[in-house]
Structure 1
Amino acid sequence: MIAWEDVYKVVVAMTPLYVALGLGYGSVRWWHIFTPEQCGAINRLVSFFTLPLFTFEFTAHIDPFDMNYRFIAADAISKVIIVLVLGAWAKCSSSKGSYCWSITNFSLSTLTNTLVVGVPLLKAMYGPLGQDLVVQASVIQGIIWLTVLLFVLEVRRTRSDVSIRAITGDSDQVADNSNKDVEGNQTVIIPSRPSFWSVMKIVWLKLALNPNSYASIVGVTWAFISNRWHFAMPSILEGSVLVMSKAGTGMAMFSMGLFMAMQEKLIACGISLTVFGMVLRFIAGPAAMAIGSIAMGLHGDVLRIAIIQAALPQSITSFIYAREYGLHAEVLSTAVIFGMLVSLPVLIAYYLVLGLLS
């Protein structure tokens, strides 16, 4: 049974994040230290340096030979369910922005803050088993699902950039009307939609240059090697990684505070979208995980842990990506902030209800 001292440990783990958030907010709103351009540069620093090193550091220290692969398969099934539902909604929707909202809704439904909130809370609830499974979920999220999110965001940006360049490059020719073929006939050049392969070529090149796309893969590769042949990471290398990775979560929250300070309202996305995001985070995600877990035959504490970890608050990394790629960052920032505020009573309620149903 979770005790008050366990709740206190979770609060202790979460409070420094809000301190970093407050410092970021105050540095723009009250103290006017950073300009909007500088705030964007700070977010880029977090996105390309501190978060990739943070991801590498925690994935490099797992034991991939001692993972619960039925639990991981259940998590994959839950993500597939969410993707299928969002894909069907995007196809049936008449809104032109449905594809973009599908990306954001995927983040809201599936990507969780497993390390900061999940580890202390699940350890308090279920002991070492809870901690072990939530770390496994975090590693898989970094290797697969955050990489998938990065890929679709890059595809969206690249398609937009290529289309804009095509239109801009041809607009002078279209406006001239003086274009003629070799026989002297009048021609008009109409920009065409970029081909799939031209977009993919650019996307893969960008991903190859983005450390977020391979930080977790390099980390888990090292984990396989080190656990198979019992190698220890050289202290000089580990120290070099730690000096930046320790700042990962704190700097991400600081960047979120900067972003909040530049918005006109505290709840940047409005009440209705905030409520919608909370429903996806705390209801839709756990429901999909329950289906996946039952399908994989999970039971007992493993089933309960699977459902509760799916109801953890919003991933901070999802906001950093949304900010970097300019897609509904106000929605993700609100989801992170309010999600962490309401998550503790919600997760304890899940814990009590699931305990009664056992």
Structure 2
Amino acid sequence: MISLDDIYKVIVATVPLYVALILGYGSVKWWHLFKPDQVDAINRLVCYFTLPLFNLDFTAHSNPFKWNYKFLAADGISKVIIVAVLALWARCSSKGSYCWSITNFSLCTLTSSLVVGVPLLGAMYGQLGIDLVVQFSVIQAIVWLTVLLLVLEFRQSRSDFPSTMNCSTSVVRNPPQVHSLESSRNDLEGKVINIDGLGDDNRPSLWCLMKVVGKKLLANPNSYSCIVGIVWALFACRFNFQIPSIVDGSILIMSKAGTGTSMFSMGMFMALQEKLIACGPKLTMFGMILKFVAGPAAMAIAALVVGLHGDVLRIAIIQAALPQSITSFIYAKEYGLHADVLSTAVIFGMMASLPILIAYYAILQTLHSL
């Protein structure tokens, strides 16, 4: 059975997150200390400095050669399960759609892993919990958020090309007649020639889409902070190097503020919304079921398939129930795809996550002791 001391440790680790959240909310909503443009400036501080350095700090100090690749395989399989279910739903149900499948995938799988996961899983399972959350967050940032961005770009390009594309694509209309020794066909006038990036149906090629996605990822320091961190970790662990103390200290002084400023920024974001539940109660309940039930259930199935057991199995299930990724909302807003649903998932999920995650922890520990 789980003890009250165990629950108390989790509460001690997570309540400070909510204190920062409430302070951010109150600074805008109650005390009117910040105007919207000032909130935007603070968000930029978090986005471009404290959170990327927070990610870099944890990633660079990990050891990729000792990662639990069964755990990461379970994460990948769980996402395949969810994609398969969503594809079947979109194909067979009258309510199914490609657009809702994208949003539902985000709700089921993308979590605020480092900001909430590190203190929470650290309190529950110690260093093992922290290590696994870091591994998950790196793969999410490098792989799954990239996949999400690629899918969103593809969706938008189908209806809005070429205005959404920023790659070097040229379309020449009414070209002059071309004479060739190998071809006598000179009936090209009035046709569209796709030079770089367009297929025969005037849709962008995969390479062109990847160029756009790459540019957007490079504009997001949270993505390449994980890439830089993992490259350094591989190099340092392979050749037994350590980060110079002056560099490590420079990263640490900002990364220590990562959790607090991120939660403070989340509170400010909540205060600026007209409604905390922007999408209505039905969609909110649907989103919470996907977030806190469907995602962990898929992870539990995948974890059992690859043979996870003990604390690693329990960590895999709990981390799948962490609150919604803020990045997924940012992408949803940018691409105009159910931003109200993702906004509600971020806000309501953050408020509801503490009791739900403690319940998961208690249930899993109890099952373990039986």
The normalised TM-score by structure 1 is: 0.78
Cα gap change, 1:5/1:29 in structure 2, threshold over 3 Å: closer, same or farther?
A: same
Which residue pairs with 1:256 in the alignment? 266
Q: Secondary structure at the match of 1:214?
A: helix
Aligned partner of 2:249: which letter?
Answer: G
Task: Report which stretch shifted further, 78-87 or 338-347.
Answer: 338-347
Structure 1 residue ranges without an equivalent (≥5): 167-179
**C-alpha deviation, 1:340, in angstroms:** 3.7
- Contact 2:112-2:324 within 8 A present in 1 as well: yes
- Per-residue Cα deviation, 1:332-355 (whole angstroms, up to 9, x for no partner): 343234334433433343344444
**C-alpha deviation, 1:329, in angstroms:** 4.2
Which residue pairs with 1:145 in the alignment? 144
- Contact 2:18-2:263 within 8 A present in 1 as well: yes
Q: Secondary structure at the match of 1:258?
A: helix
Aligned partner of 2:279: which letter?
Answer: C
- Contact 1:253-1:316 within 8 A present in 2 as well: no
Aligned partner of 1:207: which letter?
Answer: L
Distance 2:21 2:10 in 1: 17
Identity, in percent, stands at 68
Residues 39-54 of structure 1: pairs in structure 2 closer than 5 A = 39-54=39-54
- Contact 2:47-2:222 within 8 A present in 1 as well: yes
Which residue pairs with 2:303 in the alignment? 293
Distance 2:98 2:217 in 1: 21
**C-alpha deviation, 1:149, in angstroms:** 3.1
Which residue pairs with 2:59 in the alignment? 59
Distance 2:156 2:13 in 1: 35
Aligned partner of 2:76: which letter?
Answer: A
- Per-residue Cα deviation, 1:112-166 (whole angstroms, up to 9, x for no partner): 3334443444445445444443333333333322333344445556667645479
Are 1:135 and 2:134 counterparts?
A: yes
Which residue pairs with 1:246 in the alignment? 256
Residues 169-318 of structure 1: pairs in structure 2 closer than 5 A = 194-196=203-205, 197-318=207-328
Which residue pairs with 1:335 in the alignment? 345
Which residue pairs with 1:113 in the alignment? 112
**C-alpha deviation, 1:219, in angstroms:** 0.6
Residues 78-97 of structure 1: pairs in structure 2 closer than 5 A = 78-91=78-91
Aligned partner of 2:293: which letter?
Answer: I
How many residue pairs get aligned? The number is 339
Distance 1:9 1:50 in 2: 26
**C-alpha deviation, 1:108, in angstroms:** 1.6
Distance 1:207 1:336 in 2: 21
Are 1:356 and 2:356 counterparts?
A: no
Which residue pairs with 2:7 in the alignment? 7
Which residue pairs with 1:171 in the alignment? none
Task: Report which stretch shifted further, 317-326 or 141-150.
Answer: 317-326
Aligned partner of 2:106: which letter?
Answer: S
Cα gap change, 1:336/1:202 in structure 2, threshold over 3 Å: closer, same or farther?
A: closer
Structure 2 residue ranges without an equivalent (≥5): 166-173, 177-189, 193-200
Which residue pairs with 1:69 in the alignment? 69
**C-alpha deviation, 1:94, in angstroms:** 6.5
Q: Secondary structure at the match of 2:352?
A: helix
Task: Report which stretch shifted further, 230-239 or 125-134.
Answer: 125-134
Task: Report which stretch shifted further, 324-333 or 61-70.
Answer: 324-333
- Contact 2:276-2:348 within 8 A present in 1 as well: no
**C-alpha deviation, 1:278, in angstroms:** 1.3
Q: Which has the higher helix share?
A: 1
Distance 1:248 1:124 in 2: 18
Aligned partner of 1:356: which letter?
Answer: L
Distance 1:17 1:348 in 2: 15
- Contact 2:82-2:105 within 8 A present in 1 as well: yes
CA RMSD of the aligned region, Å?
3.6
Cα gap change, 1:130/1:198 in structure 2, threshold over 3 Å: closer, same or farther?
A: closer
Task: Report which stretch shifted further, 7-16 or 271-280.
Answer: 7-16
Cα gap change, 1:53/1:119 in structure 2, threshold over 3 Å: closer, same or farther?
A: closer
Are 1:16 and 2:26 counterparts?
A: no
Distance 1:262 1:120 in 2: 27
Cα gap change, 1:158/1:203 in structure 2, threshold over 3 Å: closer, same or farther?
A: farther
Which residue pairs with 1:172 in the alignment? none
- Per-residue Cα deviation, 1:261-299 (whole angstroms, up to 9, x for no partner): 232223222222221121111110111112211221223
- Contact 1:155-1:200 within 8 A present in 2 as well: no
Cα gap change, 1:318/1:207 in structure 2, threshold over 3 Å: closer, same or farther?
A: closer
- Contact 1:2-1:125 within 8 A present in 2 as well: no
Cα gap change, 1:27/1:90 in structure 2, threshold over 3 Å: closer, same or farther?
A: farther
Distance 1:161 1:38 in 2: 33
Aligned partner of 1:214: which letter?
Answer: Y
Cα gap change, 1:158/1:244 in structure 2, threshold over 3 Å: closer, same or farther?
A: farther
Task: Report which stretch shifted further, 69-78 or 98-107.
Answer: 98-107
Aligned partner of 1:251: which letter?
Answer: T
